[in-house]
Amino acid sequence: MLGKSYLVVANRSEAKILLEKDGANDLESVTTLVNDDGRASDGDLVTDRPGAVSGASGSVPGVDAMSRKDASDTEADRFAGTVADWLDKRRTTDKLYHVDIIAAPSFLGRLRGKMNKQLTDLVRHAINKDVVNEDQQQWVDYLKDAPKSANS
């Protein structure tokens, strides 16, 4: 192995980033990125001023209710970008060998969408599971059982 390998365990509110050692049998915590708004509802993130009533989308010219992106989705996209930027910074400053990702299915798609090609090419495993609150041994077991990504 010629560089560092990272494991990212994430969902829309938290991303734990660990350094893989001994073939991913040992994990060392590097950082935890937290999205304080990750569990907030749209109403908590975006509200009208007290007493104000928004017009229905059908009554506002140029507004289509189906094209509106929820504030919580926007916040999850922003957080996915933060995680991807952190990894890409490591790719350019450290010798990054590969990245393994275990993430909630909806967040994994967002994260992949924010990663550039160079970073995407370093993804070895991408596992659809929301297991941020499980212990490290469980994450190691998921990695051992995972098939290799199409990128490897």
Look up the CATH architecture of domain 1-38+79-152: 2-Layer Sandwich (3.30)
- 59 pLDDT more than 70: no
pLDDT greater than 60 at residue 151 = no
CA distance 18 to 94: 14
**pLDDT higher than threshold 90 for residue 9:** yes
**Dihedral sign (CA 86, 92, 94, 96):** positive
Q: Which residue has the tokens 């509200």?
A: 47
% of the chain with per-residue pLDDT over 90:
63
pLDDT digits (tens, 9 = 90+) for 32-51: 999 986 554 444 444 444 54
3-state DSSP call for residue 123? strand
Q: What is the pLDDT of residue 47?
A: 47
Neighbours of 42 (CB within 10 A): 14
Q: So where are the chain's domains? A: 1-38+79-152
The DSSP element (H or E) to which 34 belongs, if any, is strand 26-34
